[in-house]
């Protein structure tokens, strides 16, 4: 296969060198159709490779990664969503092995064949994967196989949007009475908060179970009512409203639901009923630069990895109904940060200082925020290493990253520029030794960022 891949790259180089202006319109159209068929078929080869890799190795062995999606993301520098999609599609369309070692065909055999022939796009495959995930419980497997073959054949003649309509119709035919089981609803439920945009806003999407919807409506029938929880009027939070406030409320129902939910969550956090998480109170924990607070500009980082405008931080500090756990590390020598061998578990003060320094997981490529991180001893605590529980000998990382470190292959140290992960063996991925995901200002402000990549 390496030779065939080389031939493919050579052929691609020849194509890119072609003078497209010399082609007639009909020849251009034919070239576009041929290129699309090649584009459609390439993922089928990738699925076979990924399926074979998963049978023969592990992501930890290949690249010190906790999952196949993380390994693929780091190897090819993909987005996390794209890496997960490729792994999921390889699982559905690649060859499999039974528990007894017998070879099995793809979960969606007709779809896999259509893709290998270059007849359908990745968008078609995504629709078919969604179809497989939404099949109601109790449908006969033979019916499912026939429907999948029929839809895969139709996919070659319809756009992904049209295919989705056909899929919806097929699912309806299996459940015309609308008798969905609790298992069907449980499989569909979920809430997703999208990534923050440049303006800091996040899109919310998902499906609520009937019980969740009833709870949502009961909780918001007052908090999302006109006149309640007006952002510009703190007196409308947690109190009865007046007719003037109701009349002056020009918010849309969607905006009132947003503000009502925020008021409920803020009150819930302030109630202390959630206790602690990893040794710290379940509160808003915010890392803010003192200069930004004084200038009332810029943004802060929350322990969950979200960006928060400084104006919101100041508003939280001023809000009487909110009690954020805010720590500003300025002249922090008064904190006890070096415990030596007297304690093995990091203290709350140490965890807060690590949040201020690292922001989240220190492993290059990791996007695990502080809330989901463990505190690791850079020098192992146990004998014969006898590592101290001192702030400059501790670092943040996720549980899977910690287990990777336990297997060896990396040395973790604190330099004057932050925590560094140095591979013990040859580094072929040209990754910087530091994770700048939670501290992008460190690399954006530097003029020597190009020198930060270790040689292979």
* pLDDT of 21 above 70: yes
Per-position b or e across 299-311, b if 16+ CB within 10 A of its CB: bbbbbebbebbbe
pLDDT, averaged across the chain:
85
Cβ contact 367:80 at 8 Å: yes
Say what angle helices 25-56 and 109-116 make with each other, to 10 degrees: 130
Q: Please tell me the distance from the alpha carbon of residue 120 to that of residue 36, in angstroms, as a whole number.
A: 9
Q: Please tell me the distance from the alpha carbon of residue 316 to that of residue 311, in angstroms, as a whole number.
A: 9
pLDDT confidence band for 16 (50 / 70 / 90): confident
Q: What percent of the chain has pLDDT over 90?
A: 39
Per-position b or e across 345-361, b if 16+ CB within 10 A of its CB: ebbebbbbbbbbbbbbb
pLDDT computed for residue 319 by the predictor: 61
Q: Do you know the residue count of the chain?
A: 456
- Enter the tokens of residue 79: 């987005």
DSSP state of 445: S
Which residues lie across from 285 on neighbouring strands?
325
Q: Please tell me the distance from the alpha carbon of residue 183 to that of residue 266, in angstroms, as a whole number.
A: 33
DSSP structure string for 283-311: S-EEE--HHHHHHT-SEEEETTS-EEEHH
**Strand, coil or helix: what is 229?**
coil
Give just the sign of the alpha carbon dihedral 385, 390, 392, 398: positive
pLDDT confidence band for 449 (50 / 70 / 90): very low
Among 87-101, 213-227, 326-340, 404-418, the least confident range: 326-340
pLDDT computed for residue 450 by the predictor: 44
Mean pLDDT along residues 323-336: 46
Mean pLDDT along residues 333-356: 76
* pLDDT of 281 above 60: yes
* pLDDT of 445 above 70: no
Residue 15, number of CB atoms within 10 A of its CB: 13
pLDDT computed for residue 425 by the predictor: 64
* pLDDT of 106 above 60: yes
Among 375-379, 406-410, 415-419, 428-432, the least confident range: 428-432
DSSP state of 338: B
pLDDT computed for residue 238 by the predictor: 65
pLDDT confidence band for 287 (50 / 70 / 90): confident
Q: Where are the alpha helices (DSSP H) in 176-328?
A: 182-188, 210-223, 243-248, 253-270, 290-295, 310-318
* pLDDT of 333 above 60: no
Cβ contact 400:418 at 8 Å: no
pLDDT confidence band for 379 (50 / 70 / 90): confident
pLDDT computed for residue 109 by the predictor: 95
Mean pLDDT along residues 128-138: 89
Q: Please tell me the distance from the alpha carbon of residue 77 to that of residue 46, in angstroms, as a whole number.
A: 16
End-to-end, the C-alpha distance of the chain in Å comes to 24
Cis peptide before 384 (omega within 30 of 0): yes
Which residue has tokens 């009512």?
A: 225
pLDDT computed for residue 451 by the predictor: 47
* pLDDT of 428 above 60: no
- Enter the tokens of residue 314: 């100041």
* pLDDT of 177 above 80: no
Among 114-123, 166-175, 206-215, 267-276, the least confident range: 267-276
Q: Please tell me the distance from the alpha carbon of residue 416 to that of residue 351, in angstroms, as a whole number.
A: 19
Q: CA geometry: angle at 246 spanning 242 and 249, to 5°?
A: 135
* pLDDT of 249 above 70: yes
Greater pLDDT, 240 or 357:
357
pLDDT confidence band for 161 (50 / 70 / 90): very high
pLDDT computed for residue 136 by the predictor: 84
Name the pTM for this structure: 0.67
pLDDT computed for residue 334 by the predictor: 41
- Enter the tokens of residue 182: 């609790």
pLDDT computed for residue 405 by the predictor: 82
**Neighbouring residues of 36: CB distance < 8 A, sequence distance ≥ 6:** 118, 121
* pLDDT of 81 above 60: yes
Cβ contact 261:223 at 8 Å: yes
Mean pLDDT along residues 353-365: 90
Mean pLDDT along residues 432-446: 80
Say what angle helices 68-76 and 25-56 make with each other, to 10 degrees: 130
pLDDT computed for residue 122 by the predictor: 94
Tens-digit pLDDT profile for residues 183-206? 878 888 999 999 999 899 999 999
Which residue has tokens 């251009």?
A: 28
Residue 184, number of CB atoms within 10 A of its CB: 16
């Amino acid at each position: 296969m390496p030779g065939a891949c080389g031939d493919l790259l050579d052929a691609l180089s020849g194509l890119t060198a072609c003078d497209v202006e010399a082609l007639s319109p009909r020849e251009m159209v034919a070239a576009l159709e041929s290129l699309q068929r090649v584009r459609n078929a390439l993922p089928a080869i990738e699925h076979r490779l990924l399926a074979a890799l998963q049978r023969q190795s592990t992501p930890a062995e290949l690249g010190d990664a906790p999952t196949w999606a993380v390994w693929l993301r780091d190897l090819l520098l993909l987005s996390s969503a794209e890496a997960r999609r490729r792994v999921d599609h390889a699982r559905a369309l690649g060859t499999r092995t039974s528990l007894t070692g017998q070879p099995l065909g793809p979960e969606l055999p007709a779809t896999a064949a259509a893709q290998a022939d270059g007849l359908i796009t990745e968008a078609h495959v995504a629709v078919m994967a969604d179809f497989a995930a939404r099949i109601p419980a109790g449908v006969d497997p033979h019916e499912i196989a026939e429907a999948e073959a029929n839809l895969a054949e139709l996919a070659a003649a319809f756009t992904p949007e049209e295919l989705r309509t056909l899929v919806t119709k097929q699912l309806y035919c299996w459940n015309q009475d609308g008798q969905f089981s609790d298992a069907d609803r449980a499989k569909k439920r979920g809430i997703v908060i999208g990534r923050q945009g440049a303006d800091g806003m996040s899109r919310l999407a998902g499906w609520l179970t009937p019980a969740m919807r009833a709870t949502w409506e009961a909780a918001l029938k007052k908090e999302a009512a006109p006149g309640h929880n007006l952002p510009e009027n703190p007196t409308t939070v947690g109190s009865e409203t007046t007719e003037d406030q109701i009349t002056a409320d020009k918010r849309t129902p969607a905006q009132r639901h947003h503000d009502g939910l925020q008021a409920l969550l803020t009150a819930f956090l302030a109630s202390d009923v959630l206790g602690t998480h990893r040794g710290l109170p379940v509160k808003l924990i915010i890392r803010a630069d003192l200069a930004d607070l004084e200038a009332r500009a810029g943004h802060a980082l929350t322990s969950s990895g979200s960006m928060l405008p400084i104006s919101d931080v100041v508003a939280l500090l001023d809000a009487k109904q909110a009690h954020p756990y805010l720590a500003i590390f300025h002249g922090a020598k008064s904190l006890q940060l070096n415990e030596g061998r007297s304690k093995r578990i990091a203290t709350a003060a140490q965890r807060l200082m690590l949040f201020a320094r690292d922001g989240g997981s220190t492993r290059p490529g990791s996007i695990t925020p502080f809330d989901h991180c463990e505190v690791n001893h850079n020098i192992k605590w146990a004998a014969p290493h006898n590592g101290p529980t001192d702030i400059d000998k501790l670092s943040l990382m996720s549980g899977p990253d910690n287990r990777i470190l336990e297997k060896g292959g990396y040395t973790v140290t604190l330099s004057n520029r932050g925590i560094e992960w140095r591979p013990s063996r040859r580094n072929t991925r040209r990754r910087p030794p530091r994770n700048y995901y939670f501290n992008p200002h460190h690399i954006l402000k530097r003029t020597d960022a190009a020198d930060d990549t270790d040689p292979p």
